Every structure is written in structure tokens, then in C-alpha cells.
Chain A
Amino acid sequence: GNSVTQMEGPVTLSEEAFLTINCTYTATGYPSLFWYVQYPGEGLQLLLKATKADDKGSNKGFEATYRKETTSFHLEKGSVQVSDSAVYFCALSPAQGGSEKLVFGKGTKLTVNP
């Protein structure tokens, strides 16, 4: 079946540090891949996405590249800010079925200290 595995948190960094949150997936075919972010007390927001191999999604300084050969979609940011503190979810949407169904990882809580 389809599944997403992302690194366990929590992750604590100092402001301006480099961030990597690992995400690997299991799926048939070519799923679409997403990173969603959940700020405290809010719903999820789409951060970035990639729909085919070697695509790079980017937004707000965050980047992730769809790697078919390693079935990965790691999230990176060169210099984090306190405002990036949130829970980050990696997710996939299966390639078949035309469905909106998302399969999520467990989430990684990031805390950025000033």
C-alpha cells in the first residue's frame, strides 16, 4: 500500500540554521508529493508540491526535490526563522483513481529558537 515515513521529531534549531526534514515514500506509479505545514492552533497549509520525478517544489525559502530513484522528498531550508516553528507533514496523493485522498507522514515538529 501507499505510505509515507518522515523523520521523528521534535527538531530544535537556532535561528539561521540549516533545516532538513527527511521524507521517504512507498507507492505504486508516480504519486504527487506534498509538504504541508501546521502552525499552532491552525489547520494545515500547503507549503510546496511536486508532481513528477525530478520536479523541485519551492516556497518561502523551503525546497524539496522529487527523487524517484530514492523514493524521497526531503524538505530543506537554508536559514530558518523563529516564525518557521510549526509541524511539517510530508504527504502523497496516489497516482491512480483521481482521488483527493492524501496519505500523510506522522509529522515533524520544528522549534526555532532566537
Chain B
Amino acid sequence: KAGVTQTPRYLIKTRGQQVTLSCSPISGHRSVSWYQQTPGQGLQFLFEYFSETQRNKGNFPGRFSGRQFSNSRSEMNVSTLELGDSALYLCASSFLAGPARELFFGEGSRLTVL
């Protein structure tokens, strides 16, 4: 069974550009969450989607957005990139929604903003 797949794995952008990251969850998983990981702030929750609906959103500016498609694949977009957006962006999926469900994480997309 394939795991959570994130693309691209590495990317370099310059300030002011935008970026789109993709996440393919484990087959059959309908819930997808996104996290930002930085050395200073650690892991911070970005959004959560279930059956194409955003269920929860973290405390990030409106430049960060996401969506989920009918096949459960998800994308997140960051517009007008800032240096501080450099981070590892992790996607996680789970079969059901609920607070005690195990999340399965991808290896992440490492974004560097110059």
C-alpha cells in the first residue's frame, strides 16, 4: 500500500513568487491535513480537509490556502512568498475524521525562499 506522496520534494523560489504543493493521500483516506515545520516554530497546523471541505484552519495569513479534490488529493498554495515561508511542509492523511485517529505523514516538501 503506497504511503502519502508529496510533490515536489524540494523547491527553491524567490520572494514575491507563489508556490503550489501537492499531496496524494493513502488510498481510501479521505482526511488530509497540512503542517508547516520550521526550526524556530516547530510543527504548526495549517489546514485540514475532509471530503473536499475545509474543517479546520490554523493561524496563518490568507496567503496560505488549500483545497481538496474529489479523489482526496490535496494542494496547498502560498502566494507572495516571504523569506519566513522557508520550511518543510508536511501533509498527513487518515481514513476517518476524529481526534484520536492516527495520521500518516508524507516525507514533506522542502521550500526555500531566496
Contact = CB atoms under 8 A, between A and B. Distances in A.
Interface of A: 31-32, 36, 41-46, 49, 51, 89, 91, 93-95, 97-107
Interface of B: 4, 31, 33, 35, 42-45, 48, 50, 55-56, 58, 90, 92, 94, 97-108
B45 A49 contact: no
Q: Dominant SS at the B interface?
A: strand
Nearest to A33: B100
Contacts of B102: 46, 49
Q: Dominant SS at the A interface?
A: loop
B42 A100 contact: no
A43 B97 contact: no
Q: Name the 10 nearest CB pairs between A and B, nearest first.
A: A43-B105, A93-B99, A104-B43, A32-B100, A44-B105, A106-B42, A43-B107, A99-B56, A51-B100, A46-B102
B56 A100 contact: yes
